[in-house]
Structure 1
Amino acid sequence: MPKVGMEPVRRKALTDAALRAIGQHGSLAVTMSEIARQAGVSPALAHHYFGSKEQLLVETIRELLRSLRRDAIEALGSAPTQRARLSAVIAVSFDTAQFAPETVAAWLAFYGEAQRSEETRRLLVVYARRLRSNLLSALKTLCPIDDAARIAEGTAAMIDGLYIRQSLQSAPISSKASVALVENHLDAQLKEFGA
């Protein structure tokens, strides 16, 4: 019988363990038992909280998205200018926690799963729309809307592309270097608008 009040703690431990296990495997080919063992709970308790591995994986993606959203809201709230807001979005994307090897591997595994799972695809579309919206919100004050949309798409694609390259681990790039590459891209795109 689960202890009263432990559910949120154990659910979080299980999503954290799922992220680690997926990152270590480099795929979603992990079992509920492996995840439960990493979380320090029994497989039965993991099934009690989530019902199935698929439900646990969906909750793990949701937890990643919630974490990214919290970090973005905090960073955007302290940005004094629209250009600083763009830098905040970029910095959050490559924050140490978001750009950790296990997290990057998990994101890539989730993208692969999105080809088969409508729920996973839906959640990743939410991420893509949120990233584009955050970029576009600042960009449209710095340049015409058509240019803002083009620059937002290019910047988002560059962020996602750097994640893919990081997941390959053949030539890992640091978080700081990734930020610098995207910032350089933005500076080049915004130069003609004097921003």
Structure 2
Amino acid sequence: MPKIGMEPIRRKALTDAAIEAIGARGSMDVTMSDIAGRAGVSPALAHHYFGSKEQLITASVRALLRDLRRDTVEALKTARSHRARVSAVIAVSFSDKQFSEDVVAAWLAFYVDAQRAPEIRRLLSVYARRLHSNLMSGLAPLCGQYEAERIAEGAAAMIDGLYIRKALGTGPARHDAVALVEDHIETQLLEIRGRTV
């Protein structure tokens, strides 16, 4: 007989294990047995909760997005200025949790899988829109919509690029990644201020 209240705990254990397994392998070439073993449950129970590996992978991407959204909302609550909002979004993108090796490698594998999996592609589009919107919430009041769009696009591309470099083992440390994106933003804002003086 199943224990009452165990389903959410086991589901989370399975999505965490999927991210860990995919991150360790660097690809989607993992089985439900691999994931279930890491989660400490049977493959049959993993299939019971998620039906298929594809459904578990989709749930894992959703879990990453929920964590990222929650962390971003929390960080934005303490931002005291528009510029601080931008810094909060960048800091969360490179937090110890988000920029860990397993999570970064899993994100890269999800991007590759998105080429054949429409639901993963859709979820990654949600991520991109949220990142853009969060950056814009701080940038637009500082420099106007047009310039903010351009700066936000560059910052998002840098964040994604630094994730790729981290997955390949050639990226900078977390604090250096933050500094690179911050430098891009600050340079762009200074240039705009210089043109308007």
**1:152 aligned residue:** 152
The number of residues matched between the two structures is: 194
Where do residues 5-154 of structure 1 align in structure 2 (5 Å cutoff)? 5-154=5-154
CA distance in structure 2 between the aligned counterparts of 1:13 and 1:76, rounded to whole angstroms: 28
Identify the range of structure 1 (1-10 vs 79-88) with the bigger mean alpha-carbon deviation: 1-10
CA distance in 2, matches of 1:30, 1:2: 27
TM superposition shift of 1:144? 2.2
**Gaps spanning 5+ residues in structure 2: where?**
none
Q: Which runs of 5+ in 1 are unaligned?
A: none
Which residue number in structure 2 is paired with residue 174 of structure 1?
A: 173
Look up the equivalent residue of 1:6 and give its one-letter code: M
Give 1:178 deviation, angstroms.
Answer: 0.1
SS in 1 for 2:141: coil
- Displacement after TM superposition at 1:138 (Å): 1.1
- Give a deviation string over 1:111-135, Cα, whole Å, max 9, x none: 0000000000000000000000001
Preserved contact between residue 162 and residue 171 of structure 2 (Cα < 8 Å): no
**C-alpha deviation, 1:142, in angstroms:** 0.4
Say which SS state the counterpart of residue 96 (structure 2) adopts. Answer: coil
- Tell me the percent identity: 64
- Normalised to the residue count of structure 1, the TM-score between the two structures is 0.97
| Separation in structure 2 between the aligned mates of residue 117 and residue 172 of structure 1, nearest angstrom | 27
Superposition TM-score, scaled by structure 2 size: 0.96
Shift of 1:93: 0.2
Paired with 1:192 and 1:30, the residues of 2 have a C-alpha distance of 48
